[in-house]
């Protein structure tokens, strides 16, 4: 049996998605504020959760906040900014151990929600803005985080490829924005941004755990009682239709041992399209599993890579192939990868590849049901993509995919950008 | 043949674990978890990267291994005469994987259908080695790329450089995957020799968790073993060099392309080798408490360092205790490694003078208890950690009761003994100097 959410609305328009289940040891809660991804306000968006997390009126500094969380048996509170398609989602979450394993009296739900409500809805203010010190400090931290993208070379290569490929599109915006935009932000402007977003943009609260609907709605209503405008803003959909005029090739040199190869493709298939399930199967056969073509051919047969895979940026209709290789093997690796892509177009897919991929995808979907975080992000995906699939729907959809549909997906996919991070000339 | 059976109850977590022992010495643990879609099984051997010198009783001949054999063997078990093991799991929709640590090698899968067949695949491929010159040679290319990937990874390098600075002789100072040179020395013969030593069932254990009945799993494992004609095996004697108390090198610096320096400080635990079982776990819990009280985000030091841009949110501290080595490790990315280093060393000495407050101790104890319970959502966490503790003769389920029992005075004792500035080392990753 797969469980689903029940949907409710608080008086101020916050949507509550509640899933009662006694299978977890935890109470999981998450709050998402949806916003358009836009290069000009990306830094503001990123700075917002970081600043709010520093303290609220009730818990005015990190010390008092963290001590409160520790007394709630180490409740794990996070504040983050997510980029998904051309949405920029401000995300808060709080995970608590459930009372029944602690000999507590059942008040952890209310106490946890109260902390989350305090941080998001009742911020610490001074002189009509956020606390100046916190804003300054978080600006420094975020600028540091943007620069730190460099440290993990695989992530860096991936982000560089996306930025180059989607230059001039909203998706080309890095999730933490541009370093140069931070300078101009002050505590008053950030507070105005907060007021506007929290009053007009869609806000979703998720709750999963061994809880009753009545107590959840009562505690949520009490914790999130700030006023919001009745009319809510409309968010534009993600553009997935950019055409490819010619394949772009970018190479960057760095003092590294291993080359990172990243290939960006456009699939022209959106999350809500009828071709969405065929795209999942296509990507699975090509490179999402250890039985996939890329892993088998590039790694297991040719021994050229340790990691090689394809993944979808499903809300932007992109597919990205990544591999870590010797620079000298670039040509050979590309040839093998290109041959796999051609085989996909020509329908050279064995019955085992097709069946195993479907089983693997179904296994992943069913496994999601065992993690509160994955249950939440799967539903969030639906909100972002404009179409919510239940696990059963996706499973049926995947099982029904046929070869013609996969081929139709394959024929539409276009390579757009090749990015190679390579060792400096004279290096290995 | 079933040699033993017992039930392990955990009242705090409302869990019941079934433990079987089958001839010739394989332990099987089954944890039923109602309503979970996923079933997870892990088959582990107590053979890690540090087990590089050994003999088997009663023989006197000692085998010495190049670095990286345990990890190499892990890769190579995924291939046999019939081809690639991944395909066999894929046909069932199961997801296989494996990992090698300093102390163990684990093979695993998760699935939401065809559990019985998947478990058979796991038991079979781990018990059926197939190594040839050709397949070994190909793997040298793949693992060569894995090593290169880690060479470029600053957080990985700062960790291994620190261990190499703390230890003079103990093999924990060497990378788990070895080096391009060391893996070039690996041959099929060498892999078979290690296989027939460390992959004997008496050196292994299986943990299975999910919505299932223990009895049929027990029968299946028992039958799988029965057909294999295992004989008894002598005790494996792992030979470790005498490790001096002193560290090897006070400061290790490596240049890599990073945005900011990364600083790790390590304290070598010279007492840990004498402890095992519950005592080892007790020390681990006490150290976790001490480090959280010193460096946790609810304490003054962390907040001051954060406000002064000396650390970011990823700053942290952790302690590791194994049967013959142990260390505490503190650090993260920083704009000013010298200043951060000074502040950390000062904080350690200050806490020794000031002591730990009762309120503080209780608060951190609560935090650790809650964190422990939360992790029990994850079947992977339970299975992997249960076996890791099992190989040091400790039991994951004992943690809450030990946590409740530890005392503030003990924590102070461990602090004095274990965070001793005489036995610390630094590891620094720095961006290249501008020319």
The yes-or-no verdict on residue A427 having pLDDT over 80 is no
Question: Per-residue confidence at A186, pLDDT binned at 50, 70, 90?
Answer: very high
For residue range A295-340, what is the model confidence (pLDDT) as tens digits? 999 999 999 999 999 999 999 999 999 999 999 999 999 999 999 9
Other CB atoms within 10 A of residue A153 CB = 22
For residue range B138-184, what is the model confidence (pLDDT) as tens digits? 999 999 999 999 999 999 999 999 999 999 999 999 999 999 999 99
Cβ–Cβ gap A144/B112 under 8 Å: no
Nearest chain A Cα to B366, which residue?
A: A73
Question: Per-residue confidence at B435, pLDDT binned at 50, 70, 90?
Answer: low
Q: The domain A6-223 is classified under which CATH number: 3.30.830.10, 3.30.930.10, 2.40.160.20, 3.30.230.10?
A: 3.30.830.10
How far apart CA B55 and CA B45 sit, in angstroms, is 17
User: Are A132 and A187 in contact, with CB atoms under 8 Å apart?
Assistant: yes
* Chain A CB contacts of B256 below 8 Å: 255
> From the centroid of its chain, how far is CA B280?
14
Question: Per-residue confidence at A428, pLDDT binned at 50, 70, 90?
Answer: very low
What pTM value is reported for the model? 0.96
Look at B353 and B82; give whichever has higher pLDDT.
Answer: B353
Length of chain B: 435
User: Are A15 and A379 in contact, with CB atoms under 8 Å apart?
Assistant: no
Residues of chain A with CATH 3.30.830.10: 6-223, 248-423
Please tell me the predicted confidence (pLDDT) of residue A2. Answer: 52
Question: Per-residue confidence at B313, pLDDT binned at 50, 70, 90?
Answer: very high
Please tell me the predicted confidence (pLDDT) of residue A249. Answer: 98
Question: Per-residue confidence at B2, pLDDT binned at 50, 70, 90?
Answer: confident
Please tell me the predicted confidence (pLDDT) of residue B272. Answer: 87
Length of chain A: 428
Mean pLDDT to the nearest integer, B291-318:
96
A392 touches chain B (CB under 8 A): no
Catalytic residue IDs of B: 74
User: Are A406 and A58 in contact, with CB atoms under 8 Å apart?
Assistant: no
Question: Per-residue confidence at B32, pLDDT binned at 50, 70, 90?
Answer: very high
Please tell me the predicted confidence (pLDDT) of residue B7. Answer: 93
* Residues B112-136: b if buried by 16+ CB within 10 A, e if exposed: bebbeebbbbbbebbbebbbeeebb
User: Are A33 and A14 in contact, with CB atoms under 8 Å apart?
Assistant: no
Q: Which residues contact B32 (CB under 8 A, 6 or more apart)?
A: B16, B18, B209, B210, B211, B212, B213, B214
Q: What is the ipTM of this complex?
A: 0.94
The yes-or-no verdict on residue B276 having pLDDT over 90 is no
Question: Per-residue confidence at A229, pLDDT binned at 50, 70, 90?
Answer: confident
For residue range B54-102, what is the model confidence (pLDDT) as tens digits? 999 999 999 999 999 999 999 999 998 888 899 999 999 999 999 999 9
Cβ–Cβ gap A299/B142 under 8 Å: yes
Give B247 to chain A, closest Cα distance, Å: 28
* Chain B CB contacts of A326 below 8 Å: 145, 148
The yes-or-no verdict on residue A155 having pLDDT over 70 is yes
B133 touches chain A (CB under 8 A): no
Q: Regarding the domain delimited by A248-423, which CATH topology (the fold level of the hierarchy) does it fall under?
A: Cytochrome Bc1 Complex; Chain A, domain 1 (3.30.830)
Question: Per-residue confidence at B342, pLDDT binned at 50, 70, 90?
Answer: very high
Mean pLDDT to the nearest integer, B386-405:
96
Q: How far apart, in Å, are the Cα atoms of B33 and each of A257, B95, B388?
A: 45, 19, 20
Nearest chain A Cα to B39, which residue?
A: A367
Mean pLDDT to the nearest integer, A176-180:
97
Q: Which residues contact A173 (CB under 8 A, 6 or more apart)?
A: A37, A38, A39, A42, A83
Cβ–Cβ gap B298/A70 under 8 Å: yes
User: Which range, of A229-243, A330-344, A357-371, B360-374, averages the lowest pLDDT?
Assistant: A229-243
Other CB atoms within 10 A of residue B84 CB = 17
For residue range B179-200, what is the model confidence (pLDDT) as tens digits? 999 999 999 999 999 999 999 9
* Chain A CB contacts of B257 below 8 Å: 150, 153, 254-256
Q: Quick one: what percent of chain A has pLDDT higher than 70?
A: 98
Q: End-to-end CA distance of chain B: give it in Å, rounded.
A: 70
Question: Per-residue confidence at A41, pLDDT binned at 50, 70, 90?
Answer: very high
Please tell me the predicted confidence (pLDDT) of residue A307. Answer: 97
> From the centroid of its chain, how far is CA B369?
21
The yes-or-no verdict on residue A1 having pLDDT over 50 is no
User: Are B333 and A148 in contact, with CB atoms under 8 Å apart?
Assistant: yes
């Amino acid at each position: 049996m797969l469980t689903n959410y029940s949907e409710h609305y608080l008086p101020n328009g916050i949507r509550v998605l509640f899933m009662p289940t006694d299978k977890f040891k935890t109470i999981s809660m998450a709050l998402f504020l949806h916003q358009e991804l836009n290069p000009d306000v990306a830094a503001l968006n990123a700075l917002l959760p970081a600043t709010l997390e520093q303290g609220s009126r009730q818990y005015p500094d990190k010390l008092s906040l963290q001590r409160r969380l520790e007394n709630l048996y180490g409740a794990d509170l996070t504040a983050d900014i997510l980029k998904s398609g051309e949405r920029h989602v401000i995300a808060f979450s709080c995970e608590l151990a459930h009372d029944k394993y602690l000999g507590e009296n059942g008040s952890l739900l209310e106490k946890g929600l109260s902390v989350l409500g305090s941080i998001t809805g009742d911020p610490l203010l001074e002189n009509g803005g956020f606390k100046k010190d916190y804003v300054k400090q978080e600006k420094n931290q975020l600028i540091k985080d943007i620069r730190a993208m460099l440290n993990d070379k695989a992530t860096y290569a991936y982000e560089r490829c996306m930025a180059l490929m989607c230059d001039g599109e909203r998706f080309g915006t890095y999730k933490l924005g541009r370093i140069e935009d931070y300078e101009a932000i002050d505590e008053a402007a950030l507070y105005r941004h907060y007021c506007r977003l929290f009053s007009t943009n869609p806000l979703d609260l998720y709750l999963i755990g061994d809880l009753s609907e009545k107590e959840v709605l009562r505690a949520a209503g009490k914790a999130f009682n700030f006023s919001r405008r009745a009319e809510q803003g409309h968010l534009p959909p993600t553009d997935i239709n950019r055409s490819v005029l010619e394949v772009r090739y970018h190479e960057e040199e760095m003092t590294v041992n291993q080359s990172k190869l990243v290939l960006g493709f456009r699939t022209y298939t959106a999350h809500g399209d009828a071709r969405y399930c065929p795209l999942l199967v296509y990507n699975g056969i090509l490179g999402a599993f250890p039985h996939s073509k890329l892993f088998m051919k590039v790694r297991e047969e040719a021994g050229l890579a340790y990691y090689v895979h394809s993944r979808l940026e499903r809300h932007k209709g992109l597919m990205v192939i990544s591999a870590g290789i010797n620079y000298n093997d670039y040509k050979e690796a590309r040839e093998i990868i290109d041959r796999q892509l051609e085989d996909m177009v020509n329908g050279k897919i064995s019955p085992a590849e097709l069946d195993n991929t479907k089983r693997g995808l179904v296994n992943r979907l069913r496994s999601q049901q065992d993690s509160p975080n994955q249950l939440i992000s799967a539903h969030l995906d639906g909100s972002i993509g404009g179409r919510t699939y239940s696990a059963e729907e996706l499973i049926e959809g995947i099982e029904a995919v046929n070869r013609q549909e996969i081929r139709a997906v394959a024929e539409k996919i276009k390579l757009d950008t090749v990015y190679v991070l390579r060792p400096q000339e004279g290096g290995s | 043949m079933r040699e033993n059976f017992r039930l392990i109850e955990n009242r705090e977590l409302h869990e019941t674990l079934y433990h079987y022992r089958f001839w010739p010495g394989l332990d099987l643990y089954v944890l039923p978890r109602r309503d979970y879609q996923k079933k997870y099984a892990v088959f582990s051997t107590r053979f890690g990267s540090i087990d590089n010198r050994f003999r088997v009783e009663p023989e006197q001949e000692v085998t010495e291994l190049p670095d990286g054999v345990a990890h190499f063997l892990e890769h190579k078990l995924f291939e046999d005469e019939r081809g690639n093991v991944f395909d066999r799991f894929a046909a069932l929709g199961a997801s296989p994987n494996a990992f090698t640590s300093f102390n163990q090698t684990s093979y695993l899968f998760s699935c939401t259908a065809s559990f019985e067949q998947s478990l058979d695949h796991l038991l079979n491929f781990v018990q059926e080695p197939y190594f040839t010159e050709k397949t070994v040679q190909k793997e040298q290319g793949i693992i060569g790329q894995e090593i290169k990937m880690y060479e470029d990874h600053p957080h990985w390098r700062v960790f291994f450089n620190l261990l190499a600075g703390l230890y003079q002789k103990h093999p924990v100072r060497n990378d788990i995957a070895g080096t391009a040179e060391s893996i070039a020395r690996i041959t099929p013969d060498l892999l078979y020799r290690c296989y027939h030593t460390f992959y004997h069932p008496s050196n292994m254990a299986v943990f299975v968790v999910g919505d299932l009945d223990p009895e049929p799993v027990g029968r299946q494992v028992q039958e799988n073993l029965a057909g294999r004609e295992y004989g008894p095996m002598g005790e494996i004697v792992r030979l470790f060099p005498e490790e001096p108390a002193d560290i090897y090198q006070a400061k290790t610096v490596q240049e890599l392309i990073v945005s900011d320096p990364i600083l790790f400080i390590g304290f070598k635990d010279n007492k840990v080798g004498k402890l095992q079982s519950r005592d080892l776990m007790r020390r681990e819990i006490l150290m976790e408490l001490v480090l959280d009280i010193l460096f946790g985000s609810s304490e003054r030091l962390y907040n001051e360092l954060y406000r002064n841009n000396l650390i970011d949110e990823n700053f942290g501290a952790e302690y590791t205790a194994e049967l013959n080595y142990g260390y505490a490790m503190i650090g993260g990315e920083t704009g000013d490694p010298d200043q951060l280093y000074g502040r950390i060393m000062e904080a350690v000495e200050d806490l020794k003078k000031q002591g730990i407050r009762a309120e503080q101790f209780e608060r951190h104890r609560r935090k650790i208890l809650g964190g422990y319970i939360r992790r029990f959502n994850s079947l992977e966490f339970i299975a992997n950690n249960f076996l890791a503790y099992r190989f040091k003769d400790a039991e994951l389920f004992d943690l809450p009761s030990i946590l409740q029992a530890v005392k503030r005075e003990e924590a102070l004792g461990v602090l004095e003994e274990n965070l001793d500035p005489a036995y610390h080392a630094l590891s620094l990753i720095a961006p290249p100097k501008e020319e």
